[in-house]
Amino acid sequence: MVNCYWIFGICHLLFVICLNMELFKFEMNSERNLLPRDGIVNYFGRVFSEEEANHFYNILLNTIAWKNDEAIIFGKKIVTKRKVAWYGESEFEYTYSKVTKKAHVLTPELLQLKQKIEAKSGETFNSCLLNLYHSGDEGMGWHSDAEKDLKKNGAIASVSFGAERKFAFKHKETKETVSLNLEHGSLLVMKGATQTHWLHRLPPTNKIHTPRINLTFRTINKS
């Protein structure tokens, strides 16, 4: 009899754990605001199936015009291990980190991704900045996407393919932090006053040894 009660107790515990995991999964995939104040961040979770995510990962990895990123920091030109590519609806120019870049025209695959992300987010975009992180050794420091060429308080949609990585936010004044893991095939949208009041980063880690591709769809004010 004791064994029966013990087995029943274990089964009940496992049921509760599974139920909580499903509730947690639902919450992560909802459109609730992850920030406590001064901005809006929605995490949609995985919006691509495993097959779709693998397909786009391989296409992007092998067909995008990847190039090591360049930035001017304290007057010195820095070349990163991380590679980037800039695409848009036309070959317009965009300046960030004091370096002006000219966009490639969106490929058929990027147009397909843009259309799906616009449908999911309810936003529209005219450009896409892609980042290729070869391993967890490569990351991005605290920053905000607030360049003058960007639409003021415009939405930025971040799509992740490949290795799952931690992504963090920090309030510029209160120093509050919020973090989450960005899954393979997932979508995160930042909008409102997020870039004005919050910094974000992709911290490096020695636990990840495979590449991650990140696409940030955004709206550039074309002159």
pLDDT tens track for 24-42: 443 454 579 999 999 999 9
Give the C-alpha distances (Å, rounded to integers) separating 164 from 127, 168, 209.
Answer: 24, 13, 11
Residue that has been written with the tokens 């605001």 in this structure: 33
Architecture of the CATH domain 32-218: Sandwich (2.60)
**C-beta separation of 185 from 160 below 8 A:** yes
Average pLDDT of the chain to the nearest whole number: 87
Please state, in angstroms and rounded to a whole number, the distance separating the CA atoms of residues 141 and 62: 26
Which among 106, 69, 107, 112 is positioned nearest to 91, based on CA atoms?
Answer: 106
- Give the model confidence (pLDDT) of 3-24 as tens digits: 555 555 554 555 444 434 433 4
CA gap 177, 167 in Å, rounded: 11
Longest CA pairwise span in the chain (Å): 79
Q: From start to end of the chain, where are the E strands?
A: 40-46, 67-73, 76-88, 93-96, 99-102, 104-105, 127-133, 140-143, 156-162, 165-171, 177-182, 186-191, 198-202, 212-218
pLDDT at 9: 55
Asked if 91 contacts 97 with a C-beta cutoff of 8 angstroms, the reply is no
pLDDT per residue over 133-180, tens digit each?
A: 999 999 999 999 877 788 889 999 999 999 999 999 999 999 999 999
Q: Looking at residue 4, what is its pLDDT?
A: 52
